[in-house]
Structure 1
């Protein structure tokens, strides 16, 4: 199939209706073979929005990326690249461990015995992006000490990303730089190297069952927990229905809603730190940890809606990006790092 690059992309956003209207001479599509769907999902301020395509002309391999302000940017990826990523993702998925594979215990565990290793250091990773240029990013790794939730370490990487954002393949854009920060800490034999890592992104709660938290966990061989602010529409799960279920009388005292798909598979949980909240976060297995333990650790680290390791990584990456972003960096793409 011959592909053509879009020359013009117009996106209209009506804040009163969570639907984006796309006007374009060629349709935008998610690469799913010959049965190309005329719908495309993207995320915007916790609302999963639906793009309805209005053209039946030849499809292009162009994807739309939305930033937190609703601005759009174009990113392209060839069919060969997507095929390569799919194959690599499938190979990494074979190494996924979805059960507890660690020696430490929680400090509150009844299983503690003399000499038991205690979970003391929990990491969190997140990335922030320049509003003017979404290819300019700051990745941040934060490590907190339990039970105080005191930040004992943070590290940054400021860089220009050259890999496009493609829905379903976020890890190929973000995992390499996050892995680099983790590897630096490990190579330095840092005493605060995290025993478990929380990732601002999904684990197995993902259209292909292998989100950023899984990808990073397998590469780093580290227990990881996926924490998403939005729910992927997968296996019949729907974000609006999950939120509605939290309002039901029988769930008014529940912090955790199990996410079971039409297939009967448990993809993760919707978790709200306070019973008054109707905007849960979505917790799923990343790697080398069970869903039960993942939820316990999320509960231990939540002061607000988002677990503290990720919240701190988010705040610090934003601040670092704002402080260190310069015109010369934007021109040259020079990478800088900093830690304490």
Structure 2
């Protein structure tokens, strides 16, 4: 029997999420913090990661939380982890991170503890960073310095840091998506890569936007996504010469938009950057056939559901 997560959470929970989101937003860093990010060839970058939470059709509770780490620039699989999780928190627009990110943070923490030498130096997230909803929480200020956040949960020290951290002199109208949330909690550079345009701050998938897409000729071509506030929230990137649809790249944490776009393009053999594509479509790591990671997760989910049906019938 297909299962669905609980409905809209209590107002008390939503209020807590809003406060946490606002505080975490003050820790977002939208500039390059690592030497390799400023190098034209990304010299010093050796490991890139991709994360995602995927579901079986008809079940919005049981899911597979995945983390894949690839070598750079070879883009060969070094590590992969797929674990079954139960997402009990309901989906609320603008608050997806509170439903999915805890499991992704846990996956990163497990790798940090088991195989620290394989820790990714940057994470690609199938979703948005600062290209996200506005007005769902108090507008914070984006730091220009380096933020530090604990893993996997927020401690008292983190709350103190949130409340006392210096902020930039100008307000930050940008949003706070999954890539920002994950970046702050793991203290890793993060890039948000979305396949569809999130229409916020006046951004629209209208005729003008489609004309700009048509004018993108070669892989690597891009144009800025400037919202009605005058803030550039991300870039539309033609990631591959043969791709007809752009990717929407935005800053998650500890990386400039320019470097995020360059690295995204550099990680694309096809339309989707390899850290995300490998994680979503399966890998060939450890002699495993293509698609084995996803098939393994699907098999686990099917077995779990069959067991539940058997128990219910008896």
Q: TM-score, normalised by structure 2?
A: 0.75
2:24 maps to 92
| 1:239 positional shift | 2.5
1:264 maps to 230
1:218 maps to 184
Instruction: Say whether 1:324 aligns with 2:300.
Output: yes
Where in structure 2 are the equivalents of 1:1-340 lying within 5 Å? 75-105=7-37, 108-109=40-41, 118-208=44-134, 209-240=175-206, 241-248=208-215, 251-253=216-218, 255-316=221-282, 318-328=294-304
| 1:187 positional shift | 1.4
| 8 Å CA contact retained: 2:61, 2:88 | yes
| 1:238 positional shift | 1.2
Structure with the largest fraction of strand: 1
RMSD of aligned residue pairs (Cα, Å): 2.3
In structure 2, C-alpha distance between the alignment counterparts of 1:140 and 1:260, rounded to whole Å? 32
In structure 2, C-alpha distance between the alignment counterparts of 1:89 and 1:95, rounded to whole Å? 10
Gapped regions of structure 2 (runs ≥ 5): 135-174, 283-292, 309-314
Call closer, same or farther: CA 1:281–1:190 in 2, change over 3 Å. Answer: same
In structure 2, C-alpha distance between the alignment counterparts of 1:270 and 1:212, rounded to whole Å? 18
Gapped regions of structure 1 (runs ≥ 5): 1-71, 333-340
Secondary structure, counterpart of 1:207 in structure 2: coil
| 1:189 positional shift | 4.1
Structure with the largest fraction of helix: 2
**Which protein has the larger Cα radius of gyration, Structure 1 or Structure 2?**
1
In structure 2, C-alpha distance between the alignment counterparts of 1:294 and 1:280, rounded to whole Å? 15
Call closer, same or farther: CA 1:330–1:265 in 2, change over 3 Å. Answer: farther
Q: TM-score, normalised by structure 1?
A: 0.69
Say how many residue pairs are matched: 254
